[in-house]
Amino acid sequence: MKHRRRVFLGAVLFLLIPAVACPAQVPDAARQIAEAVLPAPVELRDGAAVLGYDADEHLVTLREGSNDLICLADRPGDERFHAACYHASLEPYMARGRALSAEGIDSRESFRIRHEEADAGALPMPSEPAAVYNVAVALENFNPKTATVTLFAVYIPYATPATTGLSERPGPPGTPWIMRPGTASAHIMIVPPNP
C-alpha cells in the first residue's frame, strides 16, 4: 500500500512540475550551409553567403559569399524546415525584420514599421527587382535530397497591378501575382505547382 501511494504521489508531482524546454540541437556548419542553399538556383549555390546559427542559437555568418545571394539556414527548434535565399540588396530589409522579431514584434507590425522606415528613406530597398527563394515544409516532410522551392518572390518596391499588369489575387499554382502592392515590400509571388 505504501509503495502504491509513493508511486501515485510521484506521478502527481511529475505532472505538476512545469515542462522544461530542451535546447534545440543545432546542426554543424557544413550541414546548415548545405541545407541553406537548397532554395537557390544551382549555379548560385557555391557562391552564396550563408547565415546560420552557432551553438547558442545566435545568427552568425557561416560562409562569406562571392556572388550577390544570401542564404539563411533553418532556425533550429521549431516544427518546420525553412531556408531562404535572397538578393543582397534585400539584406537591410531582411535584417531589420529579424531585429524586430527579436524584440518580440509580430510580422504585421514589422511590415508596418519597415514600410514606414522605407518610405522615410531610413531603410534602403532595392532599386532593381530582387529575387527571394524559399523552401518551407513541415520538419517531418523535409528531405534534403528531394527538397524543392516552395515559393519564389521578386521584390519590386512600390509596384502595383497598374505598373506590372499582375493581379493582386493568387491564381492557380505557377501563376504570378503581386503581393502588398504599392508598398516598399511589393513583390511578385509565384507558388510552384506541387511536384
Tens digit of pLDDT for each residue in 147-181? 888 899 999 999 999 999 999 999 999 999 999 99
Q: Decide: 130 and 154 in contact? Cβ < 8 Å.
A: yes
CB atoms within 10 A of CB 176: 17
Contacts 24+ apart (CB under 8 A), 158-161: 158/182, 158/183, 158/184, 158/186, 159/186, 159/187, 159/188, 160/186
pTM: 0.83
Residue from 110, 33, 115 nearest 69 by CA: 33
What is the DSSP annotation of 117-145?
A: HHHTTSS---SS-EEEEEEEEEGGG--TT
Phi, psi of 51 (to 5 degrees): -105, 135
Pick the more confident residue, 139 or 185: 185
pLDDT tens figures, 23-63? 568 889 999 999 999 999 999 999 999 999 999 889 999 99
Burial level of 182, CB count in 10 A (0-12/13-18/19+)?
middle
Q: How far apart are CA 113 and CA 144, in angstroms?
A: 35
Give the DSSP H or E segment for 152. Answer: strand 151-155
Q: Do the strands 69-72 and 80-87 form a parallel or antiparallel pair, or are they unpaired?
A: antiparallel
Cα 120 to Cα 117, 125, 127, 139, 161: the distances in Å are 5, 11, 15, 39, 23
Query: Looking at residue 26, what is its pLDDT?
Result: 87
> How does the average pLDDT of the chain come out, rounded?
87
Per mean pLDDT, which range of 7-11, 64-68, 94-98 is the poorest?
A: 7-11
Query: Looking at residue 105, what is its pLDDT?
Result: 96
Per mean pLDDT, which range of 7-21, 23-37, 99-113 is the poorest?
A: 7-21
Query: Looking at residue 16, what is its pLDDT?
Result: 36
Residue at grid coordinates 513541415: 138
pLDDT above 90 covers a percentage of the chain that reads: 72
DSSP state of 185: T
- Is residue 20 over pLDDT 50? no
Query: Looking at residue 127, what is its pLDDT?
Result: 94
pLDDT tens figures, 72-95? 999 988 889 999 999 999 999 999
Q: Which grid coordinates are listed for 94?
A: 531582411
Query: Looking at residue 8, what is its pLDDT?
Result: 33
